[in-house]
């Protein structure tokens, strides 16, 4: 008996190893979405923040199984999804992308995998705003660049506020800044119908189709995935996935000519509602915040690493630019000044996007991490250069003359006499710059890096908890910055003693 059990255990282990080896050999199906605040498309499970789920996530898993390819998820900001396709970061994008003429001009699309209309959401105690006509004269919120925004903009008497994140629109509706919201059906259901503060009213308005996006020249990949998607529609797999998420609607039945009655229960919809309903209470909140700590620690580590590397680059390049401008020949000084003025005169966000998405067209492809470090380092180098130039100007001219008189070369005088004195002067400013750089590192989230601020967006939008999560992330930033303030003071005191120490006669 014991021998049989041992053989059975060995066989199971062997099967596991073979399956793992087979999965490792499978080609990758790299796809992207913005899963930071994207219920119910792709989002982090409220009960386990490190786990991704969503109806689009399940569609890709089903496509991978049909294509015998291993799906690999790539997180990217919404604005960077299509540029990422063109950059070759992934093969396709699923993120509720509407198949509008503008989008079709920028990317190839599969056949539609979901069809929906726009729904009106109002506060629970509101009445009389259940048709498009009744919304005239009111303030409406929606998501930017969507069918809902275009519908609202056709009505000149409606004041439209367009948001990047749907969670922000719901916050404004709850706070009374909006009279109603118009959103795609899935978003309206998962945000409006799970809260005691809101309700969905009226019938769906308009019609929009979601498609899988591919790079404009990737026809072969599009055709391959499109055929697999057709198979999912034909054998009812797509119907069952959408039924599990309570997203199979009469519009979908008519569009795909599938009027069969599925016996699949909306288990994911029920589980999501239960998870959201169970997040109240003081003890539950504390336990939830404790569960956030690994994600916050990961975000803090990445923030610190990106900031530290960028600051090293900024200091090195900043010193070089300052010396070129202060002591270099006139053309060199002019070039250094031109660099400083151009970098300081353009937004850091534009510089990050240019380095990450623009340089590949010149044959330079950087990973998100190196692109973020390079953009932050090059930007802050311009500011550091001006700080160091001010420090160099504060050193009396006689110091250089005295060093030359002691038979030092010009470079030795700079390295041993001038730069150390200037450095002591700018240490407090450098500390402030590093604290600013820590906070500006949040901009690298647009190139797929999930640092602290992006962690805040993900957690707060998943649990609709902006206060507690904000305090937790704010504390993390504070803990990151305080040690460097202390270290800078110690360095100032040490350098001050060195400069003020009595010197003997030579």
Q: How confident is the model at residue 444 (pLDDT cuts 50, 70, 90)?
A: confident
- In the numeric block, the tokens 């705003």 are attached to 129
| 143 beta partners | 163
Report CA-CA distances (Å) from 356 to 74, 343, 352, 360.
Answer: 15, 16, 6, 7
Q: pLDDT (tens digit, 9 = 90+) per residue, 472-492?
A: 888 998 888 888 777 777 776
Taking a C-beta distance cutoff of 8 angstroms, is the pair 116, 204 a contact?
Answer: yes
Task: Identify the pLDDT of residue 497.
Answer: 57
Q: How do the residues of the chain divide into helix, strand and coil, expressed in percent and rounded to 5? A: 65, 15, 25
| Rounded Cα gap, residues 376 and 434, in angstroms | 11
Q: Calculate the alpha carbon distances from 262 to 239, 241, 248, 367 in Å.
A: 8, 11, 10, 45
CB 160 within 8 A of CB 14: no
Which is more confidently placed, 95 or 7?
A: 95
Name which of 32, 29, 28 is nearest 75 in CA terms. 32
> What is the spatial distance between Cα 99 and Cα 150, in angstroms, rounded to a whole number?
14
Question: How many Cβ atoms are within 10 Å of 199's Cβ, its own excluded?
Answer: 16
User: Which tens digit of pLDDT belongs to each residue from 372-400?
Assistant: 999 999 999 999 999 888 888 888 888 88
Residue 56 reports pLDDT greater than 70: yes
How far apart, in whole angstroms, are the C-alpha atoms of residue 362 and residue 275? Answer: 47
Location of structure tokens 């008996």: 1
When mean pLDDT is compared over 165-169, 170-174, 176-180, 417-421, the highest value belongs to 176-180
Return the axis-axis angle of helices 467-500 and 452-463, rounded to nearest 10°. 160
What confidence tier does 506 reach under pLDDT thresholds 50, 70, 90? very low
Q: Return mean pLDDT, the chain.
A: 85
Among candidates 12, 6, 32, which has minimal Cα distance to 447?
32
Q: How far is CA 171 from the centre of its chain?
A: 20
- How far is the C-alpha of 207 from the C-alpha of 185, rounded, in Å? 10
pLDDT at 7: 52
Q: How confident is the model at residue 92 (pLDDT cuts 50, 70, 90)?
A: very high
Q: How far apart are CA 371 and CA 353, in angstroms?
A: 9
Name the β-bridge partners of 75. Answer: 33
Q: E strands along 156-197, which residues?
A: 159-163, 180-184
Cβ atoms within 10 Å, residue 387: 22
Q: What would the mean pLDDT of 187-193 be, rounded to a whole number? A: 89
Quick check: 262 and 243 in contact, CB under 8 A?
A: yes
Contacts 24+ apart (CB under 8 A), 309-312: 309/373, 309/377, 310/372, 310/373, 310/376, 310/377, 310/380, 310/437, 310/441, 311/377, 311/380, 311/433, 311/434, 311/437, 312/377
Res 397: pLDDT: 81
Tell me the β-bridge partners of 349: none
Region of poorest pLDDT, from 11-15, 222-226, 454-458: 11-15
Selection from 472, 59, 465 nearest residue 244 by Cα: 59
Which DSSP category does 362 fall into? G
Asked whether residue 142 carries a pLDDT value surpassing 90, the answer given is yes
> Could you tell me which CATH number the domain at 283-497 has?
1.10.3720.10
Cα 130 to Cα 82: distance, rounded to the nearest angstrom: 35
Pairwise CA distance, residues 185 & 117, whole Å: 6
| Residues of each domain in the chain carrying CATH 3.40.190.10 | 92-278
Indicate if the pLDDT at residue 18 is higher than 70: no
Expressed in angstroms, the distance from the first to the final Cα of the chain is: 92
Q: Would you say the pTM of this structure is higher than 0.85?
A: no
Element (H, E) at 139: strand 139-143
- Tell me, what's the pLDDT at 372? 92
Q: Within the chain, which residue ranges are assigned CATH 1.10.3720.10?
A: 283-497
Fold of 92-278: D-Maltodextrin-Binding Protein; domain 2 (3.40.190)
**Rounded CA gap, 333 and 326, in Å?**
7
Instruction: Encode pLDDT of 260-297 as tens digits.
Output: 887 889 999 999 888 877 655 677 778 778 878 888 88
Band of the pLDDT at 168, cuts 50, 70, 90?
Answer: confident
E strand segments, 230-313: none
pLDDT above 70: percentage of residues in the chain: 91
């Amino acid at each position: 008996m014991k021998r049989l059990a041992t053989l059975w255990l060995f066989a199971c282990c062997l099967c596991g190893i073979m399956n793992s080896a087979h999965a490792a050999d499978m080609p990758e199906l790299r796809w992207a979405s913005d899963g930071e605040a994207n219920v119910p498309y792709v989002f982090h499970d409220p009960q386990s923040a490190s786990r991704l789920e969503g109806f689009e996530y399940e569609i890709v898993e089903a496509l991978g199984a049909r294509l015998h390819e291993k799906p690999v998820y790539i997180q990217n900001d919404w604005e960077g999804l299509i540029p990422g396709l063109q950059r070759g970061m992934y093969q396709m994008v699923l993120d509720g992308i509407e198949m509008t003429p503008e989008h079709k001009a920028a990317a190839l699309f599969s056949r539609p995998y979901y069809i929906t209309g726009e729904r009106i959401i109002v506060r629970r105690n509101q009445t009389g705003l259940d048709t498009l006509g009744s919304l005239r004269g009111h303030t409406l919120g929606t998501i930017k660049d969507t069918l809902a925004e275009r519908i609202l903009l056709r009505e000149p008497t409606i004041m439209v506020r367009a948001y990047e994140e749907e969670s922000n629109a719901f916050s404004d509706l709850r706070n009374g800044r909006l009279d109603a919201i118009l959103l795609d059906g899935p978003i309206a259901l998962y945000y409006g119908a799970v809260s005691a503060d809101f309700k969905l009213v009226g019938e769906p308005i308009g019609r929009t189709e979601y498609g899988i996006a591919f790079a404009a020249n990737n026809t072969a990949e599009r055709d391959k995935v499109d055929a697999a998607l057709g198979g999912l529609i034909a054998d009812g797999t797509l119907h069952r996935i959408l039924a599990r998420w309570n997203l199979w609607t009469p519009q979908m039945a008519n569009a795909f000519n599938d009027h069969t009655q599925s016996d699949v229960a909306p288990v994911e919809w029920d589980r999501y509602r239960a998870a959201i309903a169970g997040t109240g209470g003081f003890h539950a909140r504390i336990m939830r915040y404790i569960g956030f700590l690994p994600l916050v620690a990961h975000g803090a580590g990445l923030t610190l690493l990106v900031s530290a590397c960028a600051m090293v680059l900024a200091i090195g390049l900043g010193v070089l630019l300052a010396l070129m401008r202060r002591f270099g020949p006139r053309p060199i000084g002019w070039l250094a000044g031109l660099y400083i003025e151009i970098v300081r005169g353009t937004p850091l966000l534009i510089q990050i996007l240019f380095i990450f998405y623009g340089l590949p067209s010149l044959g330079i492809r950087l990973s998100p991490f190196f692109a973020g470090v390079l953009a932050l380092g090059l930007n802050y180098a311009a500011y550091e250069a001006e700080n160091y130039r001010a420090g160099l100007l504060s050193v009396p001219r006689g110091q250089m003359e005295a060093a030359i008189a002691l038979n030092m070369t010009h470079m030795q005088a700079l390295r041993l006499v001038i730069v150390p004195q200037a450095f002591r002067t700018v240490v407090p400013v450098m500390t402030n710059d590093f604290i600013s750089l820590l906070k500006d590192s949040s901009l690298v989230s647009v190139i797929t890096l999930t640092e602290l601020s992006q962690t805040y967006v993900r957690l707060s939008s998943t649990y609709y908890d902006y206060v507690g999560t904000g305090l937790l992330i704010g504390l993390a930033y504070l803990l990151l910055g305080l040690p460097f303030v202390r270290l800078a003071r110690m360095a100032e005191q040490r350098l001050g003693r060195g400069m003020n120490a009595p010197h003997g006669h030579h």
